[in-house]
Amino acid sequence: MVITEVRIKLMEDNNERLLAFCSVTFDDAFVVRDLKIIEGAKGSFVAMPSRKLTDRCTQCGCKNHLRARHCNQCGQKLDEERAIRDADGRAKLHADIAHPINSACREVIQSAILKAYHEEKDRSRQPGYVSNYDDIDGGDYEASYTNLIGELNNGRKPAGQYHNHSAHAPRGTHSGRHATTHSDASPVSARNEDAEGTFGAGIL
């Protein structure tokens, strides 16, 4: 896969550690958003999009973040040391939603993002600067997805595509339609037809 676009949203200067948010597009077809550029003790690094880890209260079963001292539901006092800790003794409070699985891939992604970050910093000093991070309609996404669906309808599978997967236009496109590749005999196809026009239609 090739990184075809990196978008940067610079943070205000008063954010000492969080320098920017960013999104990465692969092969003009798949976007990962909400990566963060953070200033660490050894320089800038890229943090993958993540979610807060939770556990359940032993009394009422309500989910609470691992930093919570009391249950949000029943108020029971929680063990403040219940989070799993790494080899350095730091509590593991978040889990990555998407991340590279080897150091070579991580280095490629991080290098591309940091390069784009410095270019965006230079661009931000120009008069009339506007960030394009939230400009979802930018780029010719419609054409790439039209080509993808055409190949699938002609019986050819593009690289990385598997049977019965759906191809969705990205958020913010003008058509607002979802194109699916399921066969008519598939139970999934029947569900998609029932849910046509509703949010999330075609998502397994």
Is residue 202 pLDDT above 60, yes or no?
no
What does the alpha-carbon distance between residue 139 and residue 4 come to, in Å, rounded to a whole number? 11
Environment class of 110 (CB within 10 Å of its CB; exposed 0-12, middle 13-18, buried 19+): middle
pTM for this entry: 0.57
Mean pLDDT of the chain: 75
| Token representation of residue 60 | 């009422």
- pLDDT tens readout for residues 120-137: 999 999 999 988 887 654
| Spans of all domains in the chain | 3-49+98-124, 51-96, 141-194
- Domain 3-49+98-124 class, CATH top level: alpha beta
| Token representation of residue 195 | 């849910």
- pLDDT tens readout for residues 150-199: 656 665 554 444 444 433 444 444 444 444 444 444 444 444 444 444 44
User: Where residue 146 falls among pLDDT bands split at 50, 70, 90?
Assistant: low
Helix (H, G, I), strand (E, B) or coil at 1: coil
Question: In 10 A of CB 197, how many CB atoms?
Answer: 8
Residue 85 β-bridge partners: 91
* Spatial CA neighbour of 37 closest among 15, 22, 52, 16: 22
In the β-sheet with 18-26, what is the strand arrangement from edge to edge? 3-10, 18-26, 30-40, 43-47
User: Where residue 85 falls among pLDDT bands split at 50, 70, 90?
Assistant: confident
